[in-house]
Structure 1
Amino acid sequence: MCCRDRCIRCICCTFITLVLLFIVFSIIFWIIISPSNVKFHVTDASITQFNLTNNNTLYYNFKVNVTVRNPNNNIVVYYRRIKAIAWYKDNDFGRVTLTPFDQGHKNTTVLQNQSQVWKVQE
């Protein structure tokens, strides 16, 4: 009876130790690999040639510069579709599609685009 109790106690201690080690290693792995949020900053945006013609057509140039920072050490970010939208009082009036790209780790990228747009006023 005494040997059997010792064996059960040893198996329980081994199991508890393995579970605790798994939890500790999981926490350490998450701390090392945990991703940080990518940071976007609009560094410059301008609208020029803002002209409304007699036939209610609006002509304008929309230019935007965006800085994108990937602060992660081990993660590459893939940007497949990037759009910048200008709006005023819940109405969007300008859209610019930026070039897709891949951003390496610990990298800052400056995106620039300029487009000439027209829109018929409603």
Structure 2
Amino acid sequence: MGSASRAVSCLCCPCRCLACGLLSCLCSILISLLVTLGVLALVLYLIFRPHMIAATVDSASLATFTLSPTSSLAYNLTVAVTVRNPNKRVGLYYDNVEALAFYKAQRFGYDPIDAFYQGTQDSTQLKPEFHGQQLLQGDVTAAQFRQDQTDGNFAINVGLNAKLRVKVWAFKVRGPKARITCSLLVPAPGATNGATFQPTDCRVWF
């Protein structure tokens, strides 16, 4: 009875039967494609096992760091950062690389860095330099600055931003934007309390 009813329905409206068949076929193709892509992604992950890049600030020094009565910060900061690619089968291109320096959540320094390529399990040391003068706004007061100077250390954040491209065999694909943040305690210029900079690991965000 059901078969006869469907046959009559198709005879009355063949377009509807054709549409149902096309829809069913498209659904099957879509499901097969999704399964294939999922299996391919899993296989690629198992082959390449991508790891997060890592970064460490090896050294940081302040030749100048003074705040005027008008909150103008004069600075001369040098930093050495080692960036590591731990992947065994994935190379990385770093484009539009920039280094930033912050004090009390306010940016005071900027240094563009040349683009570079990092091979598998390779390390690259970057040496951004920040020098000049910058007017600080709002919350930064002379009292806070003097307190940090008395303590012998300035809490400075250094960031690195870069757009990544990923190289797998001969293929290159656009990757995410990497953001590296490093929270540092940098000895004050001429500090007499014996403070020394300690190598510091950074956090990496995508």
Question: What interval of TM-score do these two structures reach, taking the shorter chain for normalisation?
Answer: 0.5 to 0.7
In 1, are the aligned partners of 2:73 and 2:134 still within 8 Å (CA)?
yes
Alignment-derived partner of residue 106 in structure 1? 121
Structure 1 residue 95: Cα displacement: 2.3
Normalising by structure 1, we get a TM-score of: 0.65
SS where residue 77 of structure 2 aligns?
strand
Tell whether 2:133 aligns with 1:118. Answer: yes
**Residues in 2 aligned to 1:108 and 1:33: alpha-carbon distance in whole angstroms:** 18
Alignment-derived partner of residue 83 in structure 1? 98
- The amino acid that maps onto 1:117 is G
User: CA deviation digits over 1:59-96, x for unaligned, max 9?
Assistant: 21121111111011221111112223222222122222
- The amino acid that maps onto 1:114 is E
Alignment-derived partner of residue 85 in structure 2? 70
Normalising by structure 2, we get a TM-score of: 0.42
In 2, are the aligned partners of 1:73 and 1:105 still within 8 Å (CA)?
yes
Alignment-derived partner of residue 39 in structure 1? 54
- The amino acid that maps onto 1:71 is P
Alignment-derived partner of residue 3 in structure 1? none
In 2, are the aligned partners of 1:62 and 1:96 still within 8 Å (CA)?
no
In 2, are the aligned partners of 1:51 and 1:60 still within 8 Å (CA)?
yes
Alignment counterpart, residue 48 of structure 1, candidates 59, 63, 73:
63
Runs of at least 5 residues in structure 1 that lack an aligned partner in the other structure: 1-18
**Residues in 2 aligned to 1:46 and 1:53: alpha-carbon distance in whole angstroms:** 20
- The amino acid that maps onto 1:118 is Q
Task: Identify which of structures 1 and 2 has the higher relative contact order when contacts are C-alpha pairs closer than 8 Å and 6+ apart.
Answer: 1
What is the CA RMSD across the aligned residues, in angstroms? Answer: 2.7
How many percent identity over aligned positions?
32
In 1, are the aligned partners of 2:99 and 2:128 still within 8 Å (CA)?
no
- Go from structure 1 to structure 2 and tell me whether the alpha carbon gap of 1:100 and 1:54 turns closer, same or farther (over 3 Å shift): same
SS where residue 47 of structure 2 aligns?
helix
- Go from structure 1 to structure 2 and tell me whether the alpha carbon gap of 1:62 and 1:51 turns closer, same or farther (over 3 Å shift): same
**Residues in 2 aligned to 1:107 and 1:43: alpha-carbon distance in whole angstroms:** 16
